[in-house]
Amino acid sequence: MRAYDVILKKRNGGKLSKDEIEFMVNGYVKGDIPDYQMAAFLMAIYFKHMDGEERAILTETMANSGDKVGLSSIPGIKIDKHSTGGVGDKTTLVVGPIVASLGVPVAKMSGRALGHTGGTIDKLESIPGFRTTLSEEEFFKNVREIGIAVVGQTANLVPADKKIYALRDATATVDEVSLIAASIMSKKLAGGADGYVLDVKVGSGAFMKTIEDATELADAMVGIARAHGKRAVAVLTNMDVPLGKMVGNSLEVLEALETLKGNGPEDFTELCLNLSAWMCHLAGKGTFEECLKLAKESLDNGAALNKFRQFVEYQGGNPDVVERPYDVLPMTSNVTEFKTEMEGYITSIDTEKIGIASNHLGAGRKTKEDTIDYSVGIEIVSKVGDYVRPGDTIAKMYVSQKSEIEEAKELLKESYVISQEKPLERPIILKVVK
Ligand code: URA
């Protein structure tokens, strides 16, 4: 087989066989196929796309390129959750403990901050002592004993994705549905769960800006899961506004704790309950409605909060974070208020810009080697639909000495649109794809 012929076939809109897809992916990972041929192959897929069968094969081939986690030694149906990435997205910190408290094992690998979006692993590491690298033995022991463990991705998880993603990033071939779906689902398949709840973000802070694009991606990911005999549901959720009010690592842990105590923002609480209910439903705990009720009870009776405490303790973190978060978490008392000069309704917030502004304050990394300042971030005081007047504080910046405050301020200014028209309310859950 020659790479040239496979590229030509896809360039002309042909359907690729299993052998051809494996030849390209495995050859590229081994170094037999050079970057220029893989780049041409990716561009051919970008323009001619792949059908469901080709996507499923591409995903499986990528998943098989490195280590795979076997979860079969853990009893019960293991359901993983995946978010396509957003701003202020701290759902795993709440959903994990809810679901684990209901007897559904959570054995999860999570990611770090990427671009303007935050990462669960960085958020957890803002809790002093919390270890996101566990030995395999510890990982399984924690899941067996308390029903939950969350770790960072192992170095050799889907090396094909690491190599192909870097090439996509450099060749303008990131935003193609088959390539995104295979990239995400290969990591999910390698993670070993029996099913997936996929939180597909839609809006200004997300990868997918429209419901149509997000539906296409959701269909592709659910299709890949099914083709591999896995259970799956995709929930399309609103990322036209930051999720909850807090953006930044310690601040998001704080908000997750408030939510576990029953005092969280409405949108964020609703999303966490919904995702938890879908996970429990896929795990066979009852109908979606029954599971929603169970999830609410777990929040109301403190079971989820207790589970969070146990989870932190088992991974080496200071469990007092639950009772005394302000003492335990790295926090800054240096707060700069951002006031509006306008009067009217907040009609939209450019969420991507909020994520970038938070990074300017130090909440993200500029380079892979950069360290994160856990204490900094942004509090969204006024959200879409609020009526504001000149002088009102609409956001707060939690800053440190290294924060680029002027850059962040400029982005905040650009991100808020204020007008005389009251905007339509957009629900947090936009659509469910089953
Ligand atoms: N997240 C991924 O893991 N891969 C993509 O291609 C896009 C988002």
Residues 224-245 pLDDT 10s: 999 999 999 999 999 888 889 9
Residue at token pair 């170094």: 31
Q: Is 426 noted as a catalytic residue in this protein?
A: no
What pLDDT shows up at residue 370? 80
Asked if pLDDT for residue 16 goes beyond 80, the answer is yes
Confidence of residue 206 (pLDDT cuts 50, 70, 90): confident
Domain residue spans of the chain: 3-48, 79-321, 330-419
The predicted pLDDT at position 88 comes to 86
Q: Which atom of ligand 1 is nearest to the CA of 179?
A: 6
How would residue 365 be classed by pLDDT, with cut points 50, 70 and 90?
confident
Angle formed at CA 150 by CA 190 and CA 73, multiple of 5 degrees = 60
Q: Which of 80, 89, 122, 161 is catalytic?
A: 161
Rounded to the nearest angstrom, the distance between the alpha carbon of 301 and the centre of ligand 1 is 37
Active site residue 101: no
Higher pLDDT, 86 or 168: 168
- pTM for the full predicted model: 0.93
User: Which residue intervals of 210-265 are DSSP H helices?
Assistant: 211-227, 249-260
pLDDT band at 207 (very low <50, low <70, confident <90, very high): confident
Q: Of the residues 117, 174, 177, 183, which should be mutated to test ligand 1's pocket, given the most ligand atoms within 8 Å of the CB?
A: 183
Cβ atoms of residues 257 and 321 within 8 Å: yes
What is the C-alpha to C-alpha distance for residues 118 and 377, in angstroms, rounded to an integer?
11
* % of the chain at pLDDT higher than 70: 100
Question: Which residue's entry shows tokens 């897929």?
Answer: 45
Centroid of ligand 1 to alpha carbon of 338 (angstroms): 33
CA distance 2 to 164: 19
Q: What values do phi and psi take at 77, rounded to 5?
A: -90, 120
Among 117, 174, 216, name the best residue to mutate to test ligand 1's pocket (greatest count of ligand atoms within 8 A of Cβ): 174
Q: Which residues line ligand 1 (CB under 6 A)?
A: 180, 183-184, 207
**Digit-coded pLDDT (tens) for 291-337:** 999 999 999 999 999 999 999 999 999 999 999 999 999 999 999 99
Take atom 6 of ligand 1 and give the residue whose Cα is closest: 180
Q: Supply the mean pLDDT for the chain.
A: 94
CA atoms within 13 A on the CB side of 176: 22
Helices (H), strands (E): how many in the chain? 17, 13
Ligand 1 pocket test: pick from 55, 109, 165, 207 the residue with the most ligand atoms within 8 Å of its Cβ.
165
How many A from CA of 150 to the centre of ligand 1? 20
> What digits encode the pLDDT tens for the residues 390-406?
999 999 999 999 999 99
User: What's the rounded Cα separation, in Å, for the pair 56 and 176?
Assistant: 15
Closest residue by Cα to atom 3, ligand 1, is 184
Cβ-contact 22, 11 below 8 angstroms: no
pLDDT for 160-190, tens place per residue? 999 998 899 888 898 899 999 999 999 999 9
Categorize the per-residue pLDDT at 205 as very low, low, confident or very high, splitting at 50, 70 and 90. confident
**What CATH number does the domain located at 330-419 have?**
3.90.1170.30
> Distance between the two ends of the chain, CA-based, in angstroms?
38
Topology of the domain covering 3-48: 1.20.970
Active site residue 161: yes
Question: How close is the Cα of 216 to the center of ligand 1, in Å?
Answer: 15
Q: Do domains 79-321 and 330-419 have the same CATH topology?
A: no
State which amino acid sits at residue 225. Answer: A
CATH of region 79-321: 3.40.1030.10
Distance from C-alpha of 185 to C-alpha of 364, rounded to nearest angstrom: 25
Alpha carbon of 241 to ligand 1 centroid (Å)? 21
